[in-house]
Structure 1
Amino acid sequence: MTDLSTLLHRKMPLAAWIIDIEQSSVPWCNEAAEVLLMDSLSDIKSGQRVIGSELKSRLALYLKELEVGKTLPFKWPFVSKDGTHYNVRGSVISLGGARKGLSVEAHPVSAPRISVENSHSSLLSHFTTLSFAVFEQNGIYLEASKCFTEQFGDIEHVRDLFAVAGAANSFISRLAQRESMSQDIRLSTKNGVRWHKIEVSHQLKTNVVYLLTHDIQEERDHEVALYRLNNYDGLTHLPNRNLLYQQLESALVNARKRHRQFGLLYLDLDGFKVINDNFGHRVGDELIQRVAERIKGSIPSGACLYRLGGDEFVVVLENTNEIEELESIARSIMQNASNTYPVAKMEMMITASIGIASYPQHADDVDNLLKNADAAMYRAKSTGHNMYCVYEDHMADNINAHLTLGGGLRKAIEEEQFILHYQPKIRLPDEVVVGAEALIRWVHPELGMISPDQFIPLAEESGLILPLGEWVIRRACRQLQEWREAGLDPIKLSVNLSSRQFMQADLVDMVQRALEETGVDPKYLELELTESMLMADAQQSIEKLHSFRKLGLTLSIDDFGTGYSSLAYLKKFPIQTLKIDRSFIHDLGLDCDNDAIVKATIAMANSLNLKVIAEGVENRSQIDVLNGYDCQEVQGYLFSKPLSSDDFLMYLKAHGVMA
């Protein structure tokens, strides 16, 4: 039988700690390590502890090469104050993100011999720091060390230690069979139920049982904390990419085995970077939390929500029968996104673009399923905000083009590979050209003319929309200057602002500089803004709009009727023009509802002294209806598509311009 003193020493708690190589610190250690390393660690700020530079350099070399979970191929010696020799062993762990650290333990090589006295009391007196007790074979308590009594109090039977009756019965049954035991189990202490490692040894000569207990609750908590650190998002507490891959691999195995389907939704928030850049990461983090809560409440109980990081989420639904089940979840998420989020004492709005992919229709492995859902999401984002798309084969080509264009966008801005086209604005009823809308085009040296639908979302995501938007404003001002110098009657030129550009802190100053540098009269420059852009932070929008009005600019609400503005705010916004969205003009004269909406909008605008422009006019019947409703201006393919600068000049000469 194992010598008792050897057994006791072997079962003493191992000294364990974690080393953060990058910070040269020991962010956690247990009590045994505190004692063992007391003379080896020096305190620094925040209560962390320093490790030596020589050891740091050696460990760092291995840390770069080894993956998480791997054990170091070497041990380093340590000798305690009492002369005990230890071998320190380490394994690589994750400290969150891409950062790695080491979890180490000190294993004793030799232990001092301890004489075993004939009496239990004499034996127990040698182990004042160990939780050690002696019982009769039937479980009746005999005596215990001071440490044991302090932890468990006065007990009469070994049964009193157990938190669960079933565990107590099993333990007593094994005692009766004289089994030696070593296991982790929960015991009832004076401080509540806690995890312990227990070791049982039988003394055949005296017919007693030795029980050694070691509180491992701290180690268990540490393991749970490490697990959560590696597998859950710290901000939203949602499972992260690691658990997503685990579920998808498991779902794939089950689907193949049972011939079932499963699918996922890939979500990316629209314009989140704008909020982060303009309101700060604290506001952005709070918004992410609110969005996560909203999405979680929008999906069925059988679906799982994951956060991949940043503003990306994934919803997984197993055992689906039809793709319509996934589309239904997407519609539910979009519907709930129409309500504002109370964040930092503001009412904020944000939507998501959603891509849908399903096994086995769209991919037969996890990586391709995620990639294809991602491609569908990009398709939705390029089509419009708060939309979803189901994956189709051609979308994989689109994502490759997306990445290719993204790499060349910054170079294109530096080399000014962009031009402006101009779509005439026509006054009713005399149909004279009185203005134009400036529309950007990318003339790629290899791919030719690229539509804004392809590169504007890229510019928004990358932040390049700011220098690109400034280029558009400056080029529009120069164009007005060129027309004036050419002797043309002055016309008004409108420029669209993106939501991120509108949030730019120095936007007003930048526009003012552009006007001063070109000498353009501000009344001929018009800025077009969308309802959703203005309503993201209505009060701040009002202040910025008044600043523009002080410069003398004209302000217009573009795509009116498609956003979420209210009449109350419409009165507060210092705007001069409403542009009715083309979706209401398309069936004008054919759809009674659209007719009523357009008529009411024009009447309301006239009562507020606002000019109305109808966009997307394509036939004469629409003009007839709009003339009857007293609409002041129109633009659309009936009169002209967007034209290059030279073609626009020819159009002006052909149709005439009035001041």
Structure 2
Amino acid sequence: MTDLSKLLQAKMPLAAWIIDVEQSSVPCCNQAAEALLIGSLNDIKSGQRAIPSELRERLSLHLASLDIGESLPFKWPFTSKDGVEYQVRGSVIALDNARKGLFIEAHPASQVDVVAVSQVDSLLDHHAGLLAQFRSLSFAIFDRHGAFVEASDYFITHFGGIKHVRELFAVSGAANSFIRRLAHQENLFQEIRLATQNGIRWHKIEVSYHPLTNMIYLLTHDIQEERDHEVALYRLNNYDGLTNLPNRNLLYHQLESALINARKRRRQFGLLYLDLDGFKVINDNFGHRVGDELIQRVAERIKESIPSGACLYRLGGDEFVVVLENTHSISELESIAESIMQNASNTYPVAKMEMMITASIGIASYPQHADNVDNLLKNADAAMYRAKSMGHNMCFVYQSSMADNIDAYLTLGGGLRKAIEEEQFILHYQPKIRLPDETVVGAEALIRWIHPELGMISPDQFIPLAEESGLILPLGEWVIRRACRQLQEWRKAGYPDIKLSVNLSSRQFMQADLVDMVEKVLEETGVDSKYFELELTESMLMVDAQQSIEKLHSFRKLGLTLSIDDFGTGYSSLAYLKKFPIQTLKIDRSFIHDLGLDSDNDAIVKATIAMANSLNLKVIAEGVENRAQVDVLNKYHCQEVQGYLFSKPLNSGDFLVYLDSHRAVV
């Protein structure tokens, strides 16, 4: 470096320095450069000063195409700390070990010499040499008006033959912006879509305008695969793979945005938290493939049920959230929930079956129910649990008391398994009354949980927990076994034989070995099967009608009586009703409540009894609470009734007392 150091000092008072591009350093500079560049260079070791990597890459690009003694085809401006403007030039020099470096000079702008025409011609002569360095890169040269001059083979293969830089752009607006910036002789570095031989693809472009040649140098790099990977990664992180719905991540983003907008503009927004009823039953009995297909059909149905301004998200499993911004009242959210529940009444075609599934829906709104995103979701979830504990296909708006309810709900869930092991359950029996003589001919067995700390717990609270957790199977078997033992105990005590019915849950009915289990219990307890009845709901039978028919026939071979419970609230067709080997229809209490007061209910009950009689089916009306209802049912020739007019569900001892006073005439 001795000769170069002398050269640097000989250049005084001009600021001059050496750049070792390969080592990314400034090995030496004269005193004028030291003063000019103070604060621009950082010491990294004695005699070595780092240069920015971006500048290094750019200089390397040009250094490869120039020979020793040749000048860089551009100059760049530099302003000192005291405001003096300079023009910086560079030329190629030889460093140690046959490496190339750059000799840099900074000239005050007022003293910059006019570039000779011969120098420009010399630079233009280097185009061919420059392009030869870009065999694997996409590089092109255009004049200052954008007309094509020359390009590397790679560029031509990628973009084809073009006459103007405008032809590269996929969007005319982008081309116009590019041309305007070139007119201002701006250098560009950006990501943009360009039209290639293989279609429109994303590229990184670097554009340099060289005033010495009045040429535009364009370097492009195809980044479409990188963009595709980014998009795929974004979808993976933010969208559900099964339904293509946005997931929990995007839900939180929208809720945070909605919260900011609502606070700023003093508006409301709300959400619906949906959880499917009994989905685990379907997954366990039909497999995850069927369950996944059902989830897809449900997602499609929900999207059809919500307004265009609402957004649907899948949180995972069988949970969904609907968000609606800029609401005016809770009733808007309730209306969406009603629409979802109404559309759920139709069956879902899944795996060549007609399946049914409903949803429990919780509703919460900002600012009425929470002032932040986490509490809003938590409260909507609590309202959903409230709906689930009250039955299927229901919705509830959040109330502050529900926070306690959800804690109790989860606490009960933790104690349910222990309760089964310790047999904390008992059966109560509600009498079934024959008309018109009003004698006891049977009873319905109803489970009750006697919690050691909480006392009597309603089935409405723990049956949904048992369904979801899978504990309904051992609990259901316990009910069947206990009911059969009770029948035998009454018989041995000398009481006349009566028919005892037990309700089956949907998950129990789908249990593969249900028929074998019931047969085994009957054999173990010695119960005559003609005195044992199973009550099933319409919706339960319609999940897979053909499989239901086969299972019902298996029960009939055992001699059991089969009854459809809550008749009129499900979705079975008369065609299937005829195919089901049942003996009894049980009219739902919702039709009995206004009997004699509502002509529509009267017509429905009368028609149901007439239809059942024509099919040789017995009819039982449940929920009978007054004499007027009994009078109407007698008039329509209903065979049996049950309800609080006659008796509430009774424990075994009280039931026997009632039986003695209302004993059937033999």
Bin of the TM-score, shorter chain as denominator length: 0.7 to 0.9
2:286 paired residue number: 279
Deviations 1:157-190 (A, max 9, x none): 2222122222223223323333222110111111
> What does residue range 105-504 of structure 1 map to in structure 2 within 5 Å?
115-117=64-66, 119-504=126-511
Is the alpha carbon distance of 1:552 and 1:358 closer, same or farther for their aligned partners in structure 2, counting shifts above 3 Å? same
Residue 101 of structure 1: aligned partner: none
Residue aligning to 2:565:
558
Is the contact made by 1:5 and 1:115 (CA closer than 8 Å) also made in structure 2?
no
- What one-letter code is carried by the residue in structure 2 that aligns with 1:220? R
2-structure distance, mates of 1:589, 1:396: 41
Task: Kindly state the Cα deviation for residue 143 of structure 1 after the two structures are TM-superposed.
Answer: 2.2
Structure 1: 4+ residue segments shifted above 4 A: 3-7, 110-114
State which drifts further: 607-616 or 160-169: 160-169
Shift of 1:501: 0.9
Q: In structure 2, what residue type is equivalent to 1:182?
A: F
Q: Secondary structure at the residue paired with 2:465?
A: helix
8 A Cα contact 1:531 1:559, kept in partner: yes
CA distance in structure 1 between the aligned counterparts of 2:130 and 2:573, rounded to whole angstroms: 84
**2:196 alignment partner AA:** T
CA distance in 2, matches of 1:415, 1:456: 17
* Residue matched to 1:618: 625
SS in 2 for 1:516: helix
**Paired position in structure 2 for 1:608:** 615
Is this contact kept in 1: 2:391–2:460, CA < 8 A? Answer: no
Q: What is the CA distance between 1:547 and its match in structure 2?
A: 0.5
Opposite residue 509 of structure 1, the aligned amino acid is: D
AA partner of residue 338 (structure 2)? R
Q: In 2, Cα distance between the equivalents of 1:241 and 1:494?
A: 45
Q: Deviations over 1:344-372 (max 9, x none)?
A: 12222222121111111111111111111
Name whichever of 127-136 and 440-449 sits farther off. 127-136
The answer to whether the Cα contact below 8 Å between 2:428 and 2:651 also exists between their aligned partners in 1 is yes
Q: 1:506-555 CA deviation, whole Å, 9 max, x = no partner?
A: 11111111111111111111000011111222111111100000011000
Deviates more, 1:559-568 or 1:488-497: 559-568
Give the structure 2 partner of residue 44 of structure 1.
Answer: none
TM-superposed deviation, 1:384: 2.3
SS in 2 for 1:156: coil
Shift of 1:304: 1.1
SS of 1:147 mapped into structure 2: helix
Q: Is the 8 A contact 1:555 1:574 kept in 2?
A: yes
CA 1:274–1:215 in 2, change beyond 3 Å: closer, same or farther? Answer: same
- The separation in 1 between residues aligned to 2:632 and 2:175, in whole angstroms, is 87
Structure 1 residue 385 displacement after superposition: 1.7
Q: 1:588 to 1:138 in 2, by over 3 A?
A: closer
Q: Distance in 1 between matches of 2:262 and 2:607?
A: 54
Other structure's SS at 2:273 match: strand
CA contact (8 A) 1:497 1:528 kept: yes
Please say which structure displays the higher CA radius of gyration: 2
Report how many residues are paired.
560
The answer to whether the 8 Å contact 2:434/2:640 transfers is: yes
Cα distance in 1, alignment partners of residues 220 and 496 from structure 2: 95
Measure how far apart 1:217 and its partner are: 0.7
2-structure distance, mates of 1:131, 1:4: 27
Shift of 1:437: 0.5
- Out of 519, 522, 543, the position equivalent to 1:512 is 519
Instruction: Note the aligned Cα RMSD (angstroms).
Output: 2.5
The CA distance in 1 between the partners of 2:334 and 2:221, in whole Å, is 53
Provide closer, same or farther for how the CA distance between residues 129 and 642 of structure 1 changes in structure 2, counting only shifts above 3 A: same
Q: TM-score, normalised by structure 1?
A: 0.81
**Deviation readout 1:206-248 (Å, 9 max, x if unpaired):** 4433221100111111111111111111111111111111111
Alignment-mate amino acid for residue 116 of structure 1? S
Name the SS of the counterpart of 2:140 in structure 1.
strand
Describe the shift of the 1:135–1:385 C-alpha distance in structure 2 as closer, same or farther (beyond 3 A).
same
Gaps of 5+ in 2: 1-15, 25-55, 68-125
Output the CA distance in 2 between the equivalents of 1:440 and 1:329: 35
Alpha-carbon displacement from aligned partner over 1:317-351 (angstroms, at most 9, x marks no partner): 11111211111111111221112222212222222
2:390–2:461 CA contact under 8 A, matched in 1: no
1:630 aligns with 2:630: no
**In 2, Cα distance between the equivalents of 1:249 and 1:472?**
48
Name the structure 2 match of 1:96.
Answer: none
The share of aligned pairs that are identical, in percent, is 82
Distance (Å, rounded) in 2 between the aligned partners of 1:167 and 1:182: 14
- Amino acid corresponding to residue 519 of structure 2 in structure 1: Q
Q: Give the C-alpha shift of residue 649 in structure 1.
A: 2.3
Q: Which moved more, 1:623-632 or 1:396-405?
A: 623-632
CA contact (8 A) 1:249 1:366 kept: yes
- Which residue matches 1:592? 599
Per-residue Cα deviation, 1:386-413 (whole angstroms, up to 9, x for no partner): 2211112211111111111111111111
Change (3 A) 1:278 1:135: same
**C-alpha contact (below 8 Å) 1:422/1:439 kept by paired residues:** yes
1:585–1:617 CA contact under 8 A, matched in 2: yes
